[in-house]
Amino acid sequence: SRFETCWPALMKDSHGVIIIFNPELPSHLKEIEMWYSCFVQQQPLLDSQCLLVAHHKPGSAGDTENMSLAYPLNKLKLIHSNLEEDPEDVRMEFIKYFRSIITIMNESREREEMSIIS
């Protein structure tokens, strides 16, 4: 991708990664493996710091709701977003995700402070 040179700057000091994809495009399913590898595994971030969002366009076929992703993507939190039908659901999932990221950040800061003290 032509933006690959920007990736290190994007990744620097990041605490979380949200990968949004179209579950109806087989090419996207391959691409999210690459995004996960570059942005999560190589950082390294915990799997809990990554959120996958399968975004369903208005009027799209709903049979991708129960799609199964292969390892290692199947370890990640996956939400389905359909902003026509359940925007509130998506909003709640984002809030939960951000709360978990803040918890992880606080815990790592406390660990750093303890290591400086001891």
Q: What is the domain partition of the chain in residue ranges? A: 7-117
Q: Which amino acid belongs to residue 18? A: I
Distance CA 38, CA 118 (A): 34
- Residue by residue, pLDDT tens for the chain (118 residues) are 567 788 888 888 889 999 999 998 888 888 999 999 999 998 889 999 999 999 988 877 656 666 778 899 999 999 998 878 778 889 999 999 999 999 999 999 999 999 998 7
In whole angstroms, give the CA distance from residue 76 to residue 113.
29
Q: Which CATH number is 7-117's, of 1.10.10, 1.10.3470, 3.40.190, 3.40.50?
A: 3.40.50
Q: In this predicted structure, what is the pLDDT of residue 117?
A: 87
| pTM, 2 dp | 0.83
Per-residue pLDDT at 1: 57
